[in-house]
Amino acid sequence: MSELPPQPESVENRGIPGIEQTLKAAMAHQSRGEYAQAERLYREVLAVEPGQPIALHLLGVLAHMAGQSEMALELIRAAIHQAPDYVAAHNNLGNVLRDLGDLEAAGAAYQRAIALKADYAEAIGNLGLVQVGLKEAAAAEASYRQALELKPDLFDTLNNLGSLLCQSDRAQEAVSCFEKALALRPRSPGVLCNLAAAFRQTGQLQAGISALHQAIALQPDLAAAHHSLGLLLQRAGSLTEAEQSYRAALALEADNPVYCSGLASALELQGRLTEALNHYQNALKLNPENREVAGSIGSVLLALGEAEEGLLREQQGFGVVIFDSEQGVRFG
């Protein structure tokens, strides 16, 4: 997340009357979400003093927030050129570079910020994100934990550490991270979804279902939450409710193959094989490389009595299919 810092000690105004007051007014607008007013004032400052580093940096932050990453890169680099030890600018440069996919350069920017300010928790946490992207899970976990030791209320870092722990099959530890994040911001649908995923790993299905109901109440158009709720309800044996959740996800994202196959699996378990087949076929059309869905189509076709095509589909999905007159179907 881009950071809106106070004026850094290492960055000086150049003695031009009114600059400091204008910058303070611009930053106040930016902190309140009044971005157009903030941008206007930063540009007024730059019209008077073109190399003013604070205005360059924070105008770059605004550009990044608006999705103008290349412009943000140019502005923040210009700020650093004017003030090489501008710590927050190095951190936000890392954020822009990370969003542009240049993880190595982003990591170097965060490292520079940390070199200038060793206890810069936000930059350390951001470095962890880069390390995740570089598949350096152990280093990322160490960075996240170091950041949280310095600043325990870093919401994003708590969520990111929880996600990393979930991916490492350490779901119970992840639950603790997500719960701490939610204590800071209870109305966070994304974290509630992450908490539900951790509960699914630990087998706490009802707790996960409850978390997802909360997420959907906060953001009804969050398709991923409806799909995740379907998964948990299906695992809990509530197939009709699972079907409803999958349909809600598809109503929001009709071309999502994962949601199509989720609905198909719930229908298959209810014995509604023709309907299930239609949705599996839609899922395969959307993602032709999905061997698991191809295999599921084969299984449904076999159950419908279409042995030849069913065996062919299962072979495509699950591997070599061997039919033995005594032993039946097996996979080689």
Q: Is residue 211 part of a domain?
A: no
Residue 331 above 50 pLDDT?
Answer: no
Q: Is residue 324 part of a domain?
A: yes
Q: Is residue 295 part of a domain?
A: yes
Select from 152, 184, 214 the last residue of a domain.
152
Read off the pLDDT of each residue in 68-84 and give the average, rounded to a whole number: 98
Specify the pLDDT at position 201: 96
Identity of the residue numbered 185: R
H or E segment to which residue 331 belongs: strand 328-331
Q: Specify whether 113 is located in the same domain as 234.
A: no
Q: Is residue 42 part of a domain?
A: yes
Other residues' Cβ atoms within 10 Å of the Cβ of residue 36: 9
Q: Specify whether 260 is located in the same domain as 137.
A: no
Residue 3 above 80 pLDDT?
Answer: no
CB neighbours of 220 closer than 8 A, spacing ≥ 6? none
Rounded to whole angstroms, the Cα distance separating 41 from 20 reads 11
User: Any idea what the CATH number is for the domain that residue 70 is in?
Assistant: 1.25.40.10
Q: Specify whether 242 is located in the same domain as 131.
A: no
Pick 309 or 208 by higher pLDDT. Answer: 208
Please count the structural domains in the chain.
2
Residue 315 above 80 pLDDT?
Answer: no
Cβ atoms of 41 and 26 within 8 Å: the answer is yes
Q: Is residue 206 part of a domain?
A: no
Q: Specify whether 226 is located in the same domain as 145.
A: no
Burial class (CB in 10 A: 0-12, 13-18, 19+), 12: exposed
Specify the pLDDT at position 298: 87
Q: Specify whether 139 is located in the same domain as 282.
A: no
Token readout for 229 is 């709720």
Q: Which domain holds residue 290?
A: 222-332
Specify the pLDDT at position 305: 85
Residue 190 above 80 pLDDT?
Answer: yes
Planar angle of CA 154, 59, 112, nearest 5 degrees: 55
Specify the pLDDT at position 295: 87
Q: Is the pTM of this model over 0.75?
A: yes
Helix orientation angle between 69-82 and 53-65, rounded to the nearest 10 degrees: 160
The model's pLDDT over 94-120, given as tens digits with 9 standing for 90+, comes to 999 999 999 999 999 999 999 999 999
Select from 152, 185, 200 the last residue of a domain.
152
Q: Is residue 161 part of a domain?
A: no
Specify the pLDDT at position 17: 55
Are β-strands 328-331 and 321-324 bridged in parallel, bridged antiparallel, or unpaired? antiparallel
Q: Specify whether 37 is located in the same domain as 140.
A: yes
